Amino acid sequence: MRLFGRRSDGPTPLDGVDVVLADLDGVVYAGAGALPHAVESLNRARDGRALAYITNNASRTDASVAGHLSELGLPTAAQEVVTSPQAAMRLLAKLIAPGSTVLVVGGDGLVDEVAKAGFVMTRSAEDAPAAVVQGFAPEVGWTQLAEAAFALKVPEEEGGIPWIATNTDWTIPQSRGVAPGNGTLVSAVHTAIGRLATVAGKPEVPIFEEAVARFGARHPLFLGDRLDTDILGANRAGIASALVLTGIDRPKHVLAAPAGSQPTFILGDLRELHEPYPEVSVSDGVATVRGATVAVEGADVRIVSEGDRPVDLLRAGAAAIWSTGRAIFGFRVPERLYADPFHRP
């Protein structure tokens, strides 16, 4: 159980870390604006270690993302941004011949990487593309999705062409709320043709392996806001992870996290990167984090003590439930345990 065995006056999540790898949407910003405390916390984290970014969002180039981060007060070079289109190109290079024509569903971020990889881009299935690559962009609509479906009508096992999706995030946080992500658009094509895409980005391992290799990381820490992509992917890659509650996943999702998606750390916001992470003690279904204690008694989850900080209560509740190895639907959970006082867009 990753949360256990830390002294209350002991190390912070950053102790021993040589490279911080941060997701963007829901961790650093929502839409164009930075999330509260993100910029100052990440700049402080840069002291004594490298800071880089991993993003599933395929709509912008690495240079564009770096420029945006720099404008927000996080000086960043394009080389410090690892994108899902870059991971997609590495996969594609193993599947089709150099210089092949590729049908692109997506925006500038994907178009730029296709060109850098030496492939020829098309938007039409009539150009006999050797593969389809699909990524998120706000401008993607019916016409692009239809061209993908036309190009992919023959199943791959019957001689059809490969289909690579940069990522399958169902949603993307924006300043006005949560909007459909690339997974929703990939699902539309899947529904039309009955085929599944090969996924390049999180939660698949290649994008993490590229980041670790690029920055020579020996003890990286990944920061994410989604359990099903960020934390699952980090766990698959053997990387320590911190879930920050400023994006998509909420306390109720944390309590329900299956074993493969449980983070090393749970943070209310990025300021807690610099605080000693409290000891989480668990015995016979009773978990205590500082003043917060939660007990599992049969099918009931009971709050023994709330403590002084909502994040400690959530940490205790998660540890108690996770320690049983049982699914969340097997418990009666008090509403107070999944209350949500944490910032989100």
Give the count of alpha carbons within 13 A of 178, CB side only: 13
Strands (E), 96-236: 101-105, 120-122, 131-134, 163-165, 171-174, 177-180, 198-199, 220-224
**Beta-sheet pairing, 171-174 with 120-122:** unpaired
Q: What sign does the CA torsion over 280, 286, 288, 293 have?
A: positive
Q: Can you tell me the distance from the alpha carbon of 289 to that of 305, in angstroms, rounded to the nearest whole number?
A: 10
Cα–Cα distance, 157 to 234 (Å, whole number): 31
SS3 label, residue 111:
helix
> Angle at the Cα of 246 (from 242 to 251), degrees rounded to 5?
75
DSSP 277: P
The question of whether 23 is a catalytic residue gets the answer: yes
9, 15, 18, 25: the catalytic one is 25
Annotated catalytic, 9? no
How far from the centroid of its chain's Cα atoms is residue 278's Cα? 24
Nearest to 235 by CA among 206, 256, 255, 205: 205
Question: How many whole angstroms separate alpha carbon 295 and alpha carbon 259?
Answer: 19
Q: How many CB atoms lie within 10 A of CB 23?
A: 24
Cα distance between residue 106 and residue 104, in whole Å: 6
Q: At what angle do helices 142-151 and 182-193 cross, to 10 degrees?
A: 50
Catalytic residue among 15, 18, 23, 62: 23
Q: Tell me the three state secondary structure of residue 31.
A: coil
204 secondary structure, DSSP code: S
Strand order in the sheet with 81-83: 81-83, 50-55, 19-22, 220-224, 240-244, 265-267
Give me the active site residues, please. Answer: 23, 25
